Structure 1
Amino acid sequence: MKEWWIQVGLLTVPLLAVYLNIPPPNLSPALISWRSTGMFFTFQGQRIFYRESWGVVGSSDVVVLLHGFPTSSYDWYKVWEGLSQRFHRVIALDFIGFGFSDKPRFHRYSIFEQASIVEALISHLGLRDQKVNLLSHDYGDTVAQELLHRYEHKRTGHINIGSLCLSNGGIFPETHHPRLVQKLLKDAGIFSPILTRLMNFYFFSKGISEVFGPYTQPSEAEYWDMWTALRSNEGNLVVDSILQYINQRRKHRDRWVGALVNASVPLHLIYGPLDPVNPHPAFLDHYTKLVPKSTFSVLDDHISHYPQLEDPTGFLNAYLNFINSF
């Protein structure tokens, strides 16, 4: 019996070694197109991917799109054309650790750094003195809150924010319900490197499918695009580090919620009410109570955590109605 277990162990070790070093999937034509039409700039030695389109002639309006976790700027592809028909410039980036941007190992990922990257991009594009509209989702909501705090306090290098629209983000730690896999990876400690290497397409797609509505599930090709963008530059190996943003939200709750409460710019919320991460009605009730100056749009009952992908038409209409209202 002992010899049998030894043989199994000897067979398992090389198989596990091969599995843990499985190469990332090839980029789909859609992702190749997205990357090829984008550019990179450097922030503190790290390459940051961004994409920009020039739209309406004769307008000076700019919108900057801030994506969620664990995906990338590609989250905005379904509303990109519609935004380009309204704005002079449409800009999106992959935060450090996401998408096609660099994903350094043993890096201290933080919301503060991501906000500084957005500020650096705005400066890089020559928009420091330009009013910009922020449109954010999920993780990007918290980055937007930090940018808003800096704007309201006139911090050096701040972005001149013209408006802010949030969507389905954990902006209140008290109403945020992270998924089980997020809790496991965030708090795994010394086991994190093992769990991140064991992550594969099956577990990824199963986990993220839980935050889409039953009638708005992505196709398998769309799941593969999300997974491929995450695996690019071995992004699966830094997920546990990025997830510390959940703890940062709790630690800096007063700073980031206070930015919304005391905002001087137009605020709006686009909300998919089937969201299990920020469930209805608790989240919306809390939002309208704490941020009464904000307007909001609630999409159809079957729309969940990724409204810009699940209902791009409804999402775009809600956002443009907000923009055109002031």
Structure 2
Amino acid sequence: MRIRLSCRIALICARFFSSSFCASTLRRRVAVAVLLSLVFARDLRPPPEAIRNETLPPPLSNKMREWWVHVGLICIPLVAVYLHIPPPQLSPSLQKWHNAGEAFHFRGRDIFYRDSYGALGSSDVVILLHGFPTSSFDWNKIWEPLTQRFHRVVALDFLGFGFSDKPRPHRYSIFEQASVVEALVAHLGLSNQRVNLVSHDYGDTVALELLYRSDQNRSGHLIINSLCLSNGGLFPETHYPRLLQTLLKDSSFLAPVLTRLTNYKIFQKGIGDVFGPYTQPTDAEFWDMWTGLRYNDGNLVLDSILQFINQRSKHRERWVGTLTSTIVPLHMIYGPLDPVNPHPEFIRLYQQLVQRSTFTILDEHISHYPQLEDPTGFLNAYFNFIHSF
């Protein structure tokens, strides 16, 4: 009788949670339901007199077994619902960014991009390549100033990121992402136009593959006028991925579990650790990053995308080689508090290997996301670079 009642409660809980419209409300409902289930389960525990009088057969009485069955029947649907929490709704600022963009098809997949026309009298084009695990929205703080300097400002969400499709299972690779950028440039009619690339983190490695194809005069390559990098793990020997990233990229057994268990608090902690203590995102900014990740179940492809770290090691000669040999103007904007590419180890190796490049080291409190932590400093450094050649 009680087990049947537990089943009914579990079914009611599952329906109750699945009707939730936002994650925060869902979390509150889950917490209340867990408390109620524990209170209800308490009534099924054997009475203290029975325990004191040792009338229960060891190790567990039938009532104890019934109690555990009850707890299981309550917890299983709660876990199932937790693993299927609906993605959060877009904030007004993120919705505005989405509405201003479009999509084009790449090998049957939709790729989101923004393309803004800016300064009159200029023919310059800049293409922005975002990092992991975020999206093109990383450039929102410098978007308007860039449109005042460039004729066209273009940014995309790589496959598996932001508002683009996130297929699974899928073998994500830097090579494919470079092909996505080339396809976008062709789609926009810019194949014969010299373009300036600005990249960050993951986007730095995509930019190096594009640079390699350009220097090798590969079919369909971009005509790169300049490249500005920022806080990317260019050198495997000076790159220190976070613990969760290492677990996701190297553990085929744990990865599917970890991607489903990743929640907002874990995400907020991980992202917050790579921002400076005085430049932390606001709650709204954290939530926008999380929303972009959760869109189209992006959290479930993190382990596949993170193979880029292994690809960097495997193809180091190709990508670092083109960085050191290219004649394209190069610049590095660097936040020195970056725990992923730490100072001074990273910048010393960069100076040693990429001697033709100029670089800007921002204030000491700027970390891994310089375009978000210090947009003014980032823009000043970039404009000085653009005006130098």
TM-score using structure 1 length: 0.99
What do residues 100-155 of structure 1 show as CA deviations (whole Å, max 9, x unaligned)?
Answer: 00000100100000000000000000000000000000000000000000000001
Are 2:383 and 1:320 aligned? Answer: yes
What do residues 221-264 of structure 1 show as CA deviations (whole Å, max 9, x unaligned)?
Answer: 00000000000000010011000000000000000001100111
Distance in 2, matches of 1:140 and 1:5, equals 50
Aligned with residue 234 of structure 2, among 171, 185, 191 = 171
Which of the pair has more CA radius of gyration? 2
> 3-state SS of the aligned residue for 1:189?
coil
Q: Give the match for residue 50 of structure 2.
A: none
Aligned with residue 87 of structure 1, among 117, 142, 150 = 150
Structure 1 counterpart of 2:169, one-letter code: F
Aligned with residue 300 of structure 1, among 352, 355, 363 = 363
Q: Give the match for residue 146 of structure 1.
A: 209
Structure 2 counterpart of 1:64, one-letter code: I
Q: How does 1:225-244 map onto structure 2 within 5 Å?
A: 225-244=288-307
Structure with higher RCO (Cα < 8 A, 6+ apart): 1
Instruction: Could you tell me which runs of 5 or more consecutive residues in structure 1 were left unpaired when the two chains were aligned.
Output: none
Q: Give the match for residue 108 of structure 1.
A: 171
Are 2:222 and 1:159 aligned? Answer: yes
- Any runs of at least 4 consecutive aligned residues in structure 1 with deviations exceeding 3 A, and if so which? none
Are 2:97 and 1:34 aligned? Answer: yes
Q: Give the match for residue 278 of structure 1.
A: 341
Deviation at 1:187, TM superposition (A): 1.6
Q: Give the match for residue 19 of structure 2.
A: none
Distance in 2, matches of 1:160 and 1:135, equals 14
Distance in 1, matches of 2:384 and 2:71, equals 63
Deviation at 1:193, TM superposition (A): 1.5
Deviation at 1:194, TM superposition (A): 1.3
Q: How does 1:1-326 map onto structure 2 within 5 Å?
A: 1=60, 3=65, 4-326=67-389
Distance in 2, matches of 1:139 and 1:191, equals 23
Deviation at 1:166, TM superposition (A): 0.2
> 3-state SS of the aligned residue for 2:221?
coil
Distance in 2, matches of 1:8 and 1:318, equals 59
Coordinate RMSD, CA, aligned: 0.8
Structure 2 counterpart of 1:146, one-letter code: E
Distance in 2, matches of 1:246 and 1:8, equals 42
TM-score using structure 2 length: 0.83
Identity of aligned residues (%): 70
Deviation at 1:58, TM superposition (A): 1.2
Deviation at 1:9, TM superposition (A): 2.2
Deviation at 1:190, TM superposition (A): 2.5
Deviation at 1:192, TM superposition (A): 1.6
What do residues 143-185 of structure 1 show as CA deviations (whole Å, max 9, x unaligned)?
Answer: 0000000000001110000000000000000100000110111
Distance in 2, matches of 1:323 and 1:312, equals 16
Distance in 1, matches of 2:258 and 2:81, equals 16
Deviation at 1:212, TM superposition (A): 0.1
Deviation at 1:203, TM superposition (A): 0.4
Q: Give the match for residue 33 of structure 2.
A: none
Structure 1 counterpart of 2:156, one-letter code: L
Deviation at 1:5, TM superposition (A): 3.2
Deviation at 1:305, TM superposition (A): 0.1
Instruction: Could you tell me which runs of 5 or more consecutive residues in structure 2 were left unpaired when the two chains were aligned.
Output: 1-59
Structure 1 counterpart of 2:365, one-letter code: H
Contact 2:196 2:226 in 1 (8 A): yes
Deviation at 1:62, TM superposition (A): 0.3
Structure 2 counterpart of 1:202, one-letter code: K
Distance in 1, matches of 2:369 and 2:284, equals 17
Distance in 1, matches of 2:255 and 2:84, equals 16
Deviation at 1:23, TM superposition (A): 0.1
Distance in 2, matches of 1:240 and 1:10, equals 31
Contact 2:247 2:254 in 1 (8 A): no
Distance in 2, matches of 1:183 and 1:318, equals 32
Distance in 1, matches of 2:216 and 2:269, equals 42
Distance in 2, matches of 1:173 and 1:241, equals 19
Structure 2 counterpart of 1:256, one-letter code: W
What do residues 289-320 of structure 1 show as CA deviations (whole Å, max 9, x unaligned)?
Answer: 00010000000000000000000000000000
